[in-house]
Structure 1
Amino acid sequence: MGKIIISTNVSLDGVVQDPDGKEGFGRGGWFARSGGQDLGEWAKVEYAEALRAAALLLGRRSDEWFAARWAPSRTGEFADRLNSLPKYVVSSTLQDPAWTNVTVLKGDVIDEVTRLKQELDGDIVVYASYQLGRTLLEHDLVDELRLFVFPVVVGAGERLFGETSVEKPFRLAGSRTVGDGLVYVTYEIVSGDA
């Protein structure tokens, strides 16, 4: 059975919006500014995660974002791994996926992701798909959170979590400093019978 993992970069105040500054958000670009020299170590952790992943699960906009930044221009082992991974994109409108190795999930998102978890073995990693991540969290389909916390308060912007119908308890599974200023934390879902 597959395990759904939300893996993302987040500011101290929970902002995930426009980390590279190329989306036009006035406070975008915080990833490189606050990550600085630690981004080399960040890349090593992310690459190791990609090597362990069985597949990526994305929303339509994230598929477009990654395709524009990874498929045509990046080379090397990390790019090769991301480009070659099977990708499942949740969308009711997507006709022509922009990235490589994409299967479009067009049905009910909860049914489609539940089926995907049953069919795949290993880590199904959700990158940058915050609306999708919120839906999966609300419907108890997330198994783990992996958060790279960047040392910056952005002060405005879209945040990782939205409202939920009930509390969603997690347990700290690990934490460590990456480089001199990044913190990498892993949380596992606390099931109702735990």
Structure 2
Amino acid sequence: MRKIIVCTFLTLDGVMQAPGGPDEDPESGFRHGGWQKPVDDDEVGAAVAEWYERSDAMLLGRKTYEIFASYWPTADPGNPFTARMNGMHKYVASRTLTSVQWQNSTLLEGDTVDAVRALKASDGGSVNVVGSGDLAQTLMRHDLVDEYRLTIHPVIIGTGKRLFAEGAIPTALEPVSVSTTKGGTVVGVYRPAGRPRYDSY
């Protein structure tokens, strides 16, 4: 059984939209693209690199796939991440794409939830869901996420797409590892642990 792991960069107020650059995802008039780099540090990079080294493949929605596929095939070969991103297998969930050209990419067929269940049941290592907010929320609604790996950066944006958007299923989380980098980013790994419990003081 393979693990499905949601790997996401977040602002302190939970925004995941366009961390990588101003033009990455301007949907809905988002004007804060590129918020991550000014609050990033080497410890974050090392943690994320380890997340990728421990995983077998990526699971991407259409938008994230197209962003990555337009960048990584021609990215700086001196960047150690370039070979890893191009070499990993990519599974793509899309209702509109009919083919995928980036090397080692496979377009999932049929219903996304059924396809991901079959992927989980197949042989192999863990699969990282990177970016792909709509896809991640679909997987959360169908109890298909085994782990969250989150970097929570010290910046507030106030608007934009959120990983845990309104309508998210209430879920208790078990912390696996949580640390804070020198730049103030929280690097947290959490596993779903059933429904939240409620009590009063």
**RMSD (CA atoms):** 1.6
* TM-score under structure 1 length normalisation: 0.91
Aligned to 1:21: 22
1:166 and 1:28 map into 2 onto residues whose CA distance is 27
CA offsets 1:77-103 (integer angstroms, 9 cap, x no match): 321011101110001221232422111
For residues 111 and 188 of structure 2, the distance between their equivalents in structure 1, rounded to whole angstroms, comes to: 31
- Counterpart AA for 2:10: V
Q: Match of 1:69?
A: 71
What is residue 83 of structure 1 aligned with on the other side? 86
2:31 maps to 1:31 = no
Task: Tell me the TM-score normalized by structure 2.
Answer: 0.88
Counterparts of 1:36-51 in structure 2 under 5 Å?
38=41, 40-51=42-53
CA contact (8 A) 2:72 2:82 kept: yes
Unaligned runs of at least 5 residues, structure 1: none
1:8 aligned partner: 8
Q: CA deviation at 1:180?
A: 2.6
The one-letter code matched in structure 1 to 2:127 is: I
Equivalent runs, 1:1-194 vs 2, <5 Å? 1-19=1-19, 20-23=21-24, 24=26, 25-35=30-40, 38=41, 40-75=42-77, 76-164=79-167, 166-191=169-194
Answer whether contact 1:63 1:98 (CA < 8 A) is retained: no
Q: Which has the higher strand share?
A: 1
Q: 1:165 to 1:60 in 2, by over 3 A?
A: closer
Regions of 4+ moved over 4 Å: none
The percent of aligned pairs where both chains have the same amino acid is 39
**Number of aligned positions between the proteins:** 189
CA distance in 2, matches of 1:165, 1:18: 21
Paired AA for residue 71 in structure 1: P
Residues 24-44 of structure 1, C-alpha deviations (whole Å, 9 max, x = no match)? 431222101222xx1x22222
What are the superposed Cα offsets for residues 119-172 of structure 1, whole Å, 9 maximum, x if unpaired? 033211000010000000000000000110110001111111123474222111
